Amino acid sequence: MAVTLRLPPAAARFTGAAAPRPGRPTPRPSWLAAATVLLVCVPTGEKDVTAAVHVTPADLASLALVALTAVQLLRGRLPRLDRAAATLFGAVVLAAAVATVHSVDPAASLTGFVRLVQIFVLVPAAVLLAVRDRNDRRLVLGSFVLAALIEGAVGAVQYLTRTGASYTGQPIRAVGTFGALDIMAMSGVVSFGLLAALGLALAERRPGGSRPLRRAMWASAAFLAFPLAVSFSRGSWIATAVAATVLLLRADARLAVRGVLVGAAAAVVLVGGLGLGASGVTERLSSIGSVSAAPDQSVSDRYDLWATAGRIWQDHPVAGAGPKAFQQLRDSHAPLRLSSGSDAADSTIGFQREPLLSPHNMYFLVLSEQGLLGVVAYLALFLTLLLGCLRRATGPGLAALALLCWVLWDFLYADIGGTTTVLTSVVLGLAARTALPGPDSRAANGPDSRGANGT
């Protein structure tokens, strides 16, 4: 006769676990986290980039995730956030609230406050609570891989059939389903998927790991390298290289060396031998070395935007100018040589000038709009997650470490905005699950996860 042991409610509260409810299966919020990632691929049409609010299907799924998580918390089916997570997320909310109250335009900053709380607090906290075990983590990471394969396939076709966005006057730039006005979106999705695939493949190297899954992930990562290359995004290339290096070094230093050799050999075969993207990729790679000595117009504009953010911060040093205030104050603080916008063109929109509405650096954006209070709050969150992931990441947690490294590095020359912004939230939630383990963290990280002392 089988015997089932159940924790009494008092013991469940003591351990931080929710008391089991017999009879009905508890909904798995991780499915909504995976849906949030996949719905990013749904085309939303060309949008007015100057509009205050853009609500996408992925945003709606993320809000449904937050709602379901809140309901399960109220019913006692999920453990509460631990003190460290609550403190870090609460500091971000407080900094954004203070900046909104002291904004140069509080009414306009209110929508920015809501967006910041969604992206950096509510959705990451919901993902942190939704990922209960190893299967949840595989599900969410697998959704990153699937979304990347979808966008990568579309992008590859765009390059091969010359139906993409304009690059050096030719319609060859892979942009996936996002269009020329969201030029960086596809490269970000593909980068996330490539890193998630690498992380899952490395996680399955342990004894008892799934060989078919490992092979599928290696194959997915290999395929995604091509659409990433023909996205012609220098920022995504660099961020992916940095994140993959951290991932491989954390998993196996010898494997990192082999990975570099295999990657170099594949690049020689694809670009040098088969000529896939040869001229554009080679030209773009060579331009990386000239960003400081002889920067092109896009790089020069980025430097000027950073300087503009610094000047805004000097006028509002403690609480900042308020969320969404950068675009209002840009012209009064920018140098005269700053361009009015960047060029965008494809077969759908024709040629357009896209205004430069942010400093294209998340850290400068926070500094100018939320001041020193915001910088301290965000850096505390980011550094805690990074150090925690470096210390604890094993199994599927390796992918969370890689995705977090990509985001933090990309923030050096990009900021939140566009259709794929909500993916940043999911990444932060996965990283929080690894770096800020709660009572059920061993189940989430897998049987090979390390304890709090790194042993």
Q: Is the pLDDT of residue 434 over 50?
A: yes
* Beta pairing, strands 350-355 & 165-167: unpaired
Q: Among 175-179, 224-228, 285-289, 398-402, which is the least confidently predicted range?
A: 285-289
- pLDDT tens by residue, 285-335: 665 655 555 566 777 888 889 999 999 999 999 999 999 999 999 888 888
Of the given ranges (8-12, 81-85, 123-127), which has the lowest mean pLDDT?
8-12
Name 352's bridge partners.
344
DSSP annotation of 414: -
User: pLDDT at position 451, please?
Assistant: 36
Please, are residues 321 and 368 in contact by the beta-carbon 8 Å criterion?
yes
Of all residues in the chain, the percent with pLDDT exceeding 90 is 53
End-to-end distance of the chain based on CA atoms, in angstroms?
A: 38
Higher pLDDT: 39 or 133? It is 39
Token digits of residue 95: 């900094």
pLDDT tens track for 182-216: 888 999 999 999 999 999 998 887 777 778 888 99
- Helices 185-203 and 134-161 cross at an angle (nearest 10°) of 130
Q: Give me the pLDDT at residue 320, please.
A: 94
The average confidence (pLDDT) of the chain is 82
* Cβ atoms 159, 360 nearer than 8 A: no
Local structure of 133: helix, strand or coil: coil
Rounded to two decimals, what is the model's pTM?
0.86
pLDDT in tens, 230-266: 999 888 999 999 999 999 888 876 665 565 555 555 5
Nearest to 411 by CA among 362, 370, 374: 362
